[in-house]
Chain A
Amino acid sequence: KAGVTQTPRYLIKTRGQQVTLSCSPISGHRSVSWYQQTPGQGLQFLFEYFSETQRNKGNFPGRFSGRQFSNSRSEMNVSTLELGDSALYLCASSGGTGSYEQYFGPGTRLTVT
């Protein structure tokens, strides 16, 4: 099976702009979770989508949003970018029903200048 893919892999944006990141899960996986990884804060959970519905949400401001499509692909959007949003954004997919193992993508490295 092909693994989890994320696009783009690297992104440079300016403060105030918005950005959309994409994640394609492993075929058959219905759950997609997003995480932010920074040296100072570690790995923080953003949200999880299952069958096009947001099932769980972390403690991030409303500038961070996401959605999932009928083919389980997911997008994450960050509006009004701040310098502190610079991070590695990881998505992970799982079987979703009684199967919790997270399969991670390679991540998108976002730099906000």
Chain B
Amino acid sequence: GENVEQHPSTLSVQEGDSAVIKCTYSDSASNYFPWYKQELGKRPQLIIDIRSNVGEKKDQRIAVTLNKTAKHFSLHITETQPEDSAVYFCVPEGGGNKLTFGTGTQLKVEL
């Protein structure tokens, strides 16, 4: 099965700073790379995704970059705000429509 590692496991930044979370995966057949955000007590929600034929995708303050050769993709959040505080999961699609959640990164944005 797909081995997914996510780093760091916790990240604390000051409001307005940038945050970067990295995800490495093992299945070279993976071709879909989403990031989910789960706020405390709420359900996970997709925030951005990228397919393997694209190296970078941006949506306002968030962006995802993909290095398929090295088998890693990263989430970038700029100008962080308190509402960005949540757990973030990378979820590479390991072939056959099977999604494997990473271990999660607890992001805390401090005022």
Contact = CB atoms under 8 A, between A and B. Distances in A.
Contacts of A102: 36, 44, 46, 91, 99
Most buried by B among A50, A59, A96, A100: A100
Given A42-B103, A43-B104, A59-B1, A104 B45 contact: yes
B49 to A, nearest CB: 7
A100 B32 contact: yes
Contact of A45 (B34, B99, B103): B99
Interface residues of B, number: 21
A44 B97 contact: no
B99 A100 contact: yes
A48 B101 contact: no
Interface in A24-70: 31, 33, 35, 42-45, 48, 50, 55-56, 59
Contacts of A90: 43-44
Contacts of A35: 101
A4 to B, nearest CB: 8
Interface of B: 1, 32, 34, 36, 43-46, 49, 89, 91, 93, 96-104
